[in-house]
Structure 1
Amino acid sequence: MWAPQLHKGLSPLQLCRIMRPDDANIMGNVHGGIILKMIEEAGCIVSTRHCNTQDGDRCLALLVRVEKTEFLSPVFIGEVVHISAEITYTSKHSLEVQVIVMAENILTGGKKLANKAALWYVPCSLQNVNKIIEVPSIQYVNAEQKEEGRKRYEAQKTERMETKARIEEVLPPLPNLEPHTVGFSQSSLIHLVGPLDCTLHDYVHGGVTMKLMDEVAGIVAARHCNTNIVTASVDAINFHRKIKKGCVVTVTGRLTFVSNRSMEIEVLVDAASLVEKEIKKYRAVSAFFTFISLDKDNKPLPVPPLKIEGEEEQRRFEEGNARYLQAKAKRVADKDRQ
């Protein structure tokens, strides 16, 4: 995915923390949202630190996008998570941060690769959150690596614009629906954004939002298959608009596609201000989470088929199937290269 020493003069940021019981589900598997929150914290620190190495306005880096990330190995209570975050590309107003997550069993000394992620940040002035600061450039080993970074930048920029154009309203599910339908498992979580959720700008941390999204997706997956479930991967997470302190966020998850061994869940975050009535409800974040079902030995279980009702659910199912096949083909290609 990425190599150390991609550029000169910057050392990766290193964070670590032991996983506690409140980080995990009842089976001892650490929630994917906890890992995502830690990844975002590391990305925010390394990005903010880099952008404040120059003269001028002090700034704070805000998360705008997380590329597709795979949960490669489950993490358990008592393991120590080591996070390494490094800036791998800078444009005029944004930074790419690549993160590697390792899990260590401190009893045996064994280590395993748990996650890889790529995140994009923009630095915003502390005096005016709507003012984006120019990013200090980094030095690359060679022109080829800089060009590869530029291509990643252009690709994510295009995909973010396309996602904004596809925003749609989420309808509440009908009550007492048949099991294994979309409406039966669709779930929502309502959260008031308080001071502990926020950055120095009084806007919610991206990691807090991702944790809530993972929780809702997990509820949807558990309702569908009624077993132990874990996060397998997350498609690109797009942060369309900032969420301010005092907003009420509604996080909604619904099944879009089910294969024999996995469930794709669309998660949408809508926000509305409690105090500023002129700010109407708006779409803030969107993403697709993939979950798998596990038995007591953490082995994958078959997933009940999804019962499709109506043209819209059929359209979303076919789009999910296309994403599933594309991801499967990429995994095969990556395995062949290795």
Structure 2
Amino acid sequence: MWHFHGKYWIFKRLFLKQVKCVYPFRLMRPDDANIVGNVHGGTILKMIEEAGCIIGTRHCNTQPGDRCVAALARVERTDFLYPMFIGEVAHVSAEITYASKHSVEVQVNVMSENILTGSKKLTNKAALWYVPFSIQNLEKIIKVPPIKYASAEEEAEGKRRYEAQKMERLETKERNGELSRPVPAPDRTTKEPHTVGFSQSSLIHLVGPSDCTLLGFVHGGVTMKLMDEVAGIVAARHCKTNIVTASVDAINFHRKIKKGCVVTVSGQMTFTSNKSMEIEVFVDADPLIETEEGKYRAVTAFFTYISLDKEGKPLPVPPLKLEGEEEQKRFEEGKERYLQNKTKRLAGIERKQ
């Protein structure tokens, strides 16, 4: 057994390829789930990131020279296909599918297993991008060892994904700026239910050693777990029902968060459809010691939740009451993302048929 961040992990290493060799699995316990037994989306995101970090770091250290640790730069859209429950076993598999000069793409699949019946199902698929940083010099990015592709077409498709995510990261950073306005505390005394102000939420967390990599900056999985927790609070306050994570749009890690920072994770409702809610979540970091650096925007993402009844069936979502032009603008932007994702999902179903 390998003791990993206070959790006991058993690793089964299948060296079929140098770039496909990490298979962690773990039993889901009560502290992994919400009050009705669904495993938190943040718990699953954390497992996905840990698997990606392991395989990315392992691959980037297969060459002579500086030792390095792979740091998470971006998570592509992640769909939560099925819920996972207490007592089920999570299996996480990871594979490096593209390597640029200074980054690697890791594809991760999550399977849940009912150990009483032996049945398994795919619950999550995700693509993550990592950048290797030198252990000796945090500002130095290490060159990534190349990988072998099955065909020239596979390599070309990987390069297309690399260029697309690079452009989207730059656009997201430009849209959000270095530091957006903070989300105020929810005002449930003067704000009406189902307004943005009624459900908006924030969480403050001091980054300690257990949150960090060997290089002293926060694990991406830790950050994503905090983000999912805040987004879940926003969704629950809006619906007053059981809620689960349905999907996460691209999570962009703009800057590293170091040990000793105070992070503020904020979330607010941006859009609702008949059966889903979109919550924008961002993370601001404030160094306690290196105060000359000042507070900065570190991570941004959009989380989508659905509301469930006691039998786990989807419930209608209360419409979002908008106040002012800014909220209306953000609602229209969220609606556009919703329609785009719906079109992609339907196109994927048609291709399978």
The answer to whether the superposition gives a TM-score over 0.5 is yes
Compute the displacement of 1:332 (Å): 0.6
Gapped regions of structure 1 (runs ≥ 5): 1-6
2:142 corresponds to which residue? 133
1:194 corresponds to which residue? 208
The correspondence for 1:307, drawn from 308, 321, 326, is 321
Q: Which amino acid aligns with 1:131?
A: K
Compute the displacement of 1:276 (Å): 1.6
Task: Give the distance between the partners of 1:225 and 1:141, measured in 2 at CA.
Answer: 48
Compute the displacement of 1:261 (Å): 0.2
Aligned partners of 2:244 and 2:307 also within 8 Å: yes
Tell me, yes or no, if structure 1 residue 263 matches structure 2 residue 272: no
The correspondence for 2:184, drawn from 160, 172, 175, is 172
Deviates more, 1:54-63 or 1:165-174: 165-174
Compute the displacement of 1:174 (Å): 6.3
The correspondence for 2:38, drawn from 19, 26, 29, is 29
- State the secondary structure of the residue aligned to 1:36: helix
Task: Give the distance between the partners of 1:228 and 1:173, measured in 2 at CA.
Answer: 22
Scaled by the length of structure 1, what TM-score is found?
Answer: 0.97
Q: How does 1:55-94 map to 2 (within 5 A)?
A: 55-94=64-103
- State the secondary structure of the residue aligned to 1:45: helix
The correspondence for 2:238, drawn from 205, 210, 224, is 224
The correspondence for 2:259, drawn from 221, 242, 245, is 245
Aligned partners of 1:41 and 1:207 also within 8 Å: yes
Tell me, yes or no, if structure 1 residue 328 matches structure 2 residue 337: no
Number of aligned positions between the proteins: 332
Q: 1:162-183: CA deviations, max 9, x gaps?
A: 0110113234156321100000
Task: Give the distance between the partners of 1:9 and 1:73, measured in 2 at CA.
Answer: 30
Tell me, yes or no, if structure 1 residue 157 matches structure 2 residue 166: yes
* Identity across the alignment (%): 73
Tell me, yes or no, if structure 1 residue 16 matches structure 2 residue 28: no
Compute the displacement of 1:277 (Å): 1.5
Task: Give the distance between the partners of 2:40 and 2:236, measured in 1 at CA.
Answer: 13
2:55 corresponds to which residue? 46
- State the secondary structure of the residue aligned to 2:348: helix
- State the secondary structure of the residue aligned to 1:256: strand
1:112 corresponds to which residue? 121
Q: Which amino acid aligns with 2:311?
A: D
Task: Give the distance between the partners of 1:9 and 1:40, measured in 2 at CA.
Answer: 19
Task: Give the distance between the partners of 1:46 and 1:235, measured in 2 at CA.
Answer: 23
The correspondence for 1:280, drawn from 275, 291, 294, is 294
Q: 1:28-74: CA deviations, max 9, x gaps?
A: 00000000000000000000000000000000000000000000000
Q: Which amino acid aligns with 2:68?
A: C
2:12 corresponds to which residue? none
Compute the displacement of 1:117 (Å): 0.2
Task: Give the distance between the partners of 1:55 and 1:22, measured in 2 at CA.
Answer: 41
Compute the displacement of 1:129 (Å): 1.1
Compute the displacement of 1:12 (Å): 3.3
Deviates more, 1:140-149 or 1:167-176: 167-176
Aligned partners of 1:8 and 1:138 also within 8 Å: no
Aligned partners of 1:8 and 1:139 also within 8 Å: no
Compute the displacement of 1:11 (Å): 2.8
Compute the displacement of 1:126 (Å): 0.0
Compute the displacement of 1:329 (Å): 0.6
Gapped regions of structure 2 (runs ≥ 5): 1-15
Deviates more, 1:7-16 or 1:180-189: 7-16
Task: Give the distance between the partners of 2:183 and 2:58, measured in 1 at CA.
Answer: 42
Task: Give the distance between the partners of 1:171 and 1:291, measured in 2 at CA.
Answer: 20
Q: 1:97-125: CA deviations, max 9, x gaps?
A: 00000000000001011000000000000
Q: Which amino acid aligns with 2:175?
A: R
Aligned partners of 2:247 and 2:304 also within 8 Å: yes
Q: 1:131-166: CA deviations, max 9, x gaps?
A: 000000000011000000000000000000001101
Task: Give the distance between the partners of 1:42 and 1:79, measured in 2 at CA.
Answer: 18
- State the secondary structure of the residue aligned to 1:166: helix
Q: How does 1:284-295 map to 2 (within 5 A)?
A: 284-295=298-309
Q: 1:79 to 1:246 in 2, by over 3 A?
A: same
Tell me, yes or no, if structure 1 residue 185 matches structure 2 residue 199: yes
- State the secondary structure of the residue aligned to 1:48: helix
Aligned partners of 1:19 and 1:78 also within 8 Å: yes
Task: Give the distance between the partners of 1:264 and 1:9, measured in 2 at CA.
Answer: 38
Compute the displacement of 1:8 (Å): 5.9
Tell me, yes or no, if structure 1 residue 124 matches structure 2 residue 127: no
Q: 1:271-294: CA deviations, max 9, x gaps?
A: 101122202111000000000000
